Amino acid sequence: MSLTFEEILARASLAEDTVTLCLDGRVLDEIGALQRRIAEAPPPVNLGDDTRARLQEQLAGAVERMRASQVDFHLRALPGPEWNAFYAASPTREDKESDEDWAPRIYPWLTQMVSRTCTEPAMTAEQVTELAGRLHATSWNRLTNACWLLNRNEVEVPNFDPVSDGTPRSAPTSAPPTAPASATPASAGASPPRRPRTSTTRPVDSSAA
């Protein structure tokens, strides 16, 4: 049975994703430090040497505290024309522009991208800026990267082909935007590529700058 346009339109929906972030930056730093100490710890010299075991126990406790601090951020992609227009208004990095000059110019665009993409919690760009000032760089980069990939239509989808081995498809290959590590913009990389062109949008540069 054929469907009417209204029925087809009712079934269509924008891509959504959820990214889980740890809000406790101190525990993330603690985990990183413990992982380095474990990697650098020499092999046990005798049966009574429990250095690695004690470090592993501390790491397990830190991971539990990290999990207790995690919060889900729900994202929804912008409609294609809206994303194209939004990206067209993004700043372009000048040739030989320093990180110090570039970061403050790209940072407001990144906060707008998160504000427009994150549906729960709903946040204004100003609130995103306030949150970014308290987030660990790891969590902030995970959030901006997730928003970027979602709007790029590059969310990884598991392969549900019943004759396959269940191995997920490979991760996206295009580079996500790099973001300042805190509310004080640090370094930011080259501009991310634009969304692939469709027949209803003007030509855009699809290569990484």
**When comparing pLDDT for 16 and 193, which is higher?**
16
How does the average pLDDT of the chain come out, rounded? 79
Where do the structural domains in the chain lie, given as residue ranges?
7-23+72-209, 24-68
pLDDT band of residue 204 (cuts 50, 70, 90) is very low
**When comparing pLDDT for 114 and 153, which is higher?**
114
pLDDT band of residue 158 (cuts 50, 70, 90) is low
Tokens (6 digits) for 6: 């209204």
| H helix runs in the chain, sequence order | 5-11, 25-40, 51-68, 80-88, 99-117, 125-132, 137-151
Output the pTM of the full model. 0.71
pLDDT tens track for 84-114: 999 999 999 999 999 999 989 999 999 999 9
Strands 118-120 and 16-22: unpaired
- Residue 1: its pLDDT value, please? 78
CB 90 within 8 A of CB 191: yes
